[in-house]
A = this chain, B = another copy of it.
Amino acid sequence: MNLVEELGERKIIDLIMECLDQMPNTPVPFGDDVSAIDIGNGKLAVIKTDMLVGKTDVPAAMNLWQAARKAVVMNVSDLAAKGVQPIALLASIGIPKGLSKKDIQQIGKGLNNGAREYNAYVLGGDTNEASDLIISCAALGICQKRDLIKRSGAKPKDYVAVTGFFGKTASGLKILLENLLVPPDIKEELVNAVFMPRARLKEGLALAQTQAATASIDSSDGLAWSIHEISRASKVGFVIDNLPIASEMEKFTQIHGLDPVELSLYGGEEYELLVTVKPKFWQDAKEAVENVGGSLIKIGLATKEKGLFLKRMGKTVPIEARGWEHFKTGLNQRA
């Protein structure tokens, strides 16, 4: 257990965290979706950085415009989960030799379109020569301190809910990487989840306004892992009794004899929000999200007991703490 490929991403993050001095009175704990500093007057400056790497995050069929847009969406999604509007984006780009002028323009347009889609602007960045395509974005937003939804506020009996159905991206990736046959309408929906991920920004902003959400996380490491993270940060357990299985994904699994529970729980690379909500404010939260054109689907309950369980078809099974993890589940390992 000494090389990074044996350690895996989570252990690597722990090793780095152990080397870091903690900032006193930091408003958001290390390991939440974003970092923040107090800027006075009840406000926070919120920042996030997330890196897209060609060989693990960009399937061959994805174009550079889509890749650059995805690099933006990955960062916007983390601010969305905290209820924070991104204002500015920066992009540090590593460019492999052999890319053309048109390729660079595709990257520039993808960055700009991604940012403008969420009412943000790309303000600057940095370009470098690298062996892989690397697009490392940083997002900055300002919010009221009281509006930021951490991972740590869930209480027993809170409802747990999501902003959409799961398993589409994992299915889309399988279709692309294993060249699987599926009916065109289903294929389009599933493959689009890979090519055109969407951050649930308007949903996150609406939820922050209600003050109804007690905890929130984006689900980019998968539904199970996200539940696990809220559980760990909030010191609660969860019982999920309404697994949010995407219908297109279910049809896909029926055709290919795959397990829809596996794909929706452990697939990852999805950008839905997973939130906990005080039961008495459930209706407020649901309406707030629906008013901006989204949906909030109740999938279970937070519990005092620490375990994570899935109730489905009369059976109760543990939800494992696993999901998308670099060095373990990158495209190169999947392919």
B-binding residues in A (CB < 8 A): 1-5, 7, 9, 12-13, 15-23, 26, 30-32, 34-37, 39-41, 43, 45, 47-51, 53, 55-57, 87-88, 90-95, 97-101, 103-105, 107-109, 111-112, 115-116, 121-132, 134, 136, 138, 140, 142, 326-327, 330, 332
Task: Note all chain B residues with C-beta closer than 8 A to A55.
Answer: 129-131
- Given the interface pairs A20-B122, A45-B45, A134-B130, the reply to whether A53 lies near B12 with Cβ below 8 Å is no
* A49→B101 contact, CB < 8 A: no
Across the interface, name the chain B residue whose C-beta is closest to A125: B49
Return the contact of A123 from the options B26, B50, B57, B97 (Cβ within 8 A): B26
Across the interface, name the chain B residue whose C-beta is closest to A22: B121
Q: In the complex, what distance in Å separates the CA atom of A13 from the CA atom of B125? A: 9
Centre residue among A115, A326, A332 by max chain B CB count within 10 A:
A326
Across the interface, name the chain B residue whose C-beta is closest to A9: B127
- Given the interface pairs A128-B326, A134-B51, the reply to whether A97 lies near B5 with Cβ below 8 Å is yes
Q: In the complex, what distance in Å separates the CA atom of A101 from the CA atom of B16? A: 10
Task: Note all chain B residues with C-beta closer than 8 A to A35.
Answer: 88, 90, 123-124
Return the contact of A116 from the options B3, B21, B126 (Cβ within 8 A): B21
Number of identical protomers: 2
Task: Note all chain B residues with C-beta closer than 8 A to A126.
Answer: 49-51, 136
* A19→B123 contact, CB < 8 A: no
* A21→B51 contact, CB < 8 A: no
Since A5-B98, A12-B95, A49-B90 are in contact, a sample of 14 more A-B pairs with Cβ atoms closer than 8 Å, ordered by chain A residue number, is A1-B101, A2-B100, A9-B127, A30-B124, A37-B140, A47-B47, A47-B90, A47-B124, A49-B138, A51-B92, A57-B128, A97-B327, A129-B332, A130-B130
- Could you pull out 22 A-B pairs where Cβ atoms are within 8 angstroms? A3-B99, A3-B100, A4-B98, A4-B103, A15-B108, A16-B125, A17-B108, A18-B105, A23-B121, A32-B124, A35-B90, A36-B123, A37-B140, A39-B39, A47-B138, A49-B125, A49-B126, A51-B92, A51-B94, A55-B129, A95-B327, A130-B132
The smallest beta-carbon distance between A98 and chain B, in angstroms, is 6
The smallest beta-carbon distance between A1 and chain B, in angstroms, is 8
The smallest beta-carbon distance between A48 and chain B, in angstroms, is 7
Closest 7 CB pairs of A and B: A19-B108, A35-B123, A138-B138, A23-B121, A16-B108, A136-B136, A51-B92
* B47→A112 contact, CB < 8 A: no
Across the interface, name the chain B residue whose C-beta is closest to A110: B19
Task: Note all chain B residues with C-beta closer than 8 A to A111.
Answer: 16, 19-20
* B51→A97 contact, CB < 8 A: no
Q: In the complex, what distance in Å separates the CA atom of A275 from the CA atom of B56? A: 43
The smallest beta-carbon distance between A305 and chain B, in angstroms, is 30
* A18→B108 contact, CB < 8 A: yes
Return the contact of A15 from the options B87, B101, B122 (Cβ within 8 A): B101
Task: Note all chain B residues with C-beta closer than 8 A to A17.
Answer: 108
Q: In the complex, what distance in Å separates the CA atom of A9 from the CA atom of B125? A: 12
Across the interface, name the chain B residue whose C-beta is closest to A96: B4
- Given the interface pairs A13-B127, A53-B130, the reply to whether A39 lies near B34 with Cβ below 8 Å is no
